[in-house]
Amino acid sequence: MEEKKACIFLIDDNIVNLNTGKSALQHKYTVITIPSGEKLFFALEKVRPDLILLDVDMPGMSGYDVMRGLKLNTDTADIPVIFLTGKNEVKDELHGFTLGAVDYITKPFSPPLLLKRVELHLVLKAREEELREFSGNLLKMVNERTNDISILQNAIIMWAAEVIEFRDEETGQHVERVQKYLEILLGAMAESSIYADEVVSWDIDAFLKSALLHDVGKIKIRDDVLLKTSRLSDEELVNMKLHSLYGKSLLESLQDKVPNQTFLEYAKVLAHRHHERWDGTGYPDRLKGEEIPLQARMMAIADVYDALISERPYKRAYSHEEAMDIIAEGRGTQFDPILTDLFIELGPLIKDISRAQGREY
């Protein structure tokens, strides 16, 4: 199949120049001659050239005027333009390049030189288009790869959460419900500008992912403690509380292998600190008030609420209303008072989430 010829527009008000230029180029290219800048724009409505040879000094629209018009239209702005002119002063050439010309040929031009200049710029144009296509394909590949990695990451996080729940069957879909509560709480915080200066710097998606791993330390708790169907003894309770330290240790180990993962940093904070209390009586470090990271203060409320509405061998499941009353009683002692008030305001939405995730009252 014969290769399609590149199309060249040659614009000049001088018929001799049009004929000379066409004669020099037509054996290799499709050359369309146009006698004025005004008529060029009519021709562009039907044909899109690969390159334009444009006379500067023409009656009506000058070459500079035409160039400005081409650059204003996104469909024509990238067509390479070579100016043809009898002017040979540096300031004239500089003005042409400033407007966006790719080259400047003085008249009367040499046909062989014109041909070589046209060949050069068409090769450059082809390479630019190849590079643009390659960059587009590369970006597509990167986006696809990033999406694949994100899907894999989410699957691994969910798998880890399910492993935790598999060992502690009574928790059911606890981690997923807690994640939903946090999402609702975050939305309300944004609407109310609560702790806005801190939350604005968060990667929200990473934070919500990390919530699924807040109990990861339970993997290292002894079966006789984790699976016990009655209340824990004091010694067993001490062992159970170690899950916050185990979680921190496990996630730090993972960070060493997979550095610079924001969600792992959030996960470590949640695993380590979600049992600290606002009044400083929590564990593992008895942090108090805003010494406790905001992420962990949020998790503390969501985690306790879901534990309250969940049945255990040693306790019944509390109703939503009973759980909210208990959360309210913990305001300023166990929980951040500002977050507590907001969580209680969100009561109907929280109840809907718990129902949608399998809890019934």
Here the tokens at position 194 are 């609560």
Q: Is the pLDDT of residue 169 over 60?
A: no
Name residues whose C-beta falls within 8 Å of residue 307's C-beta, 6 or more positions apart in sequence.
Answer: 174
Q: Nearest Cα to 216, choosing from 161, 265, 142, 156?
A: 161
Higher pLDDT: 137 or 295? It is 295
Name residues whose C-beta falls within 8 Å of residue 357's C-beta, 6 or more positions apart in sequence.
Answer: 173, 176, 177, 180
pLDDT score of 172: 47
On whether the CB atoms of residues 240 and 271 are closer than 8 A, the answer is no
Distances 86 to 54, 61, 318 between C-alpha atoms, Å: 12, 17, 92
Gap between the Cα atoms of 337 and 315, Å rounded? 27
On whether the CB atoms of residues 25 and 8 are closer than 8 A, the answer is yes
On whether the CB atoms of residues 85 and 106 are closer than 8 A, the answer is yes
Look-up: residue for tokens 């400083």?
A: 280
Q: Is the pLDDT of residue 323 over 50?
A: yes
Gap between the Cα atoms of 49 and 271, Å rounded? 63
Q: Nearest Cα to 304, choosing from 281, 286, 322?
A: 322
User: pLDDT tens digits, residue range 266-295?
Assistant: 999 999 999 999 999 999 999 999 999 999
pLDDT score of 144: 73
Q: Is the pLDDT of residue 296 over 80?
A: yes
Q: Nearest Cα to 56, choosing from 127, 107, 4?
A: 107
Higher pLDDT: 143 or 296? It is 296
DSSP helix/strand/coil, 258: coil
Mean pLDDT within 243-259:
88
Report the chain's mean pLDDT, rounded to a whole number.
87
On whether the CB atoms of residues 90 and 62 are closer than 8 A, the answer is no
Mean pLDDT within 229-255:
90
pLDDT score of 343: 97
pLDDT score of 353: 87
pLDDT score of 327: 97
pLDDT band at 49 (very low <50, low <70, confident <90, very high): very high
Q: Cβ atoms within 10 A of the Cβ of 212, count?
A: 23
User: pLDDT tens digits, residue range 205-234?
Assistant: 889 988 888 988 888 888 888 878 788 898
pLDDT score of 125: 84
pLDDT score of 167: 58
Higher pLDDT: 146 or 260? It is 260
Q: Nearest Cα to 240, choosing from 223, 257, 259, 260?
A: 223
Mean pLDDT within 85-93:
74
Q: What order of strands is seen across the sheet that includes strand 30-34? A: 30-34, 7-11, 51-55, 81-85, 103-106
User: pLDDT tens digits, residue range 324-358?
Assistant: 999 999 999 999 999 999 999 999 999 998 776 55
Q: Is the pLDDT of residue 1 over 60?
A: no
Mean pLDDT within 64-84:
91
% residues pLDDT > 70 (the chain):
89
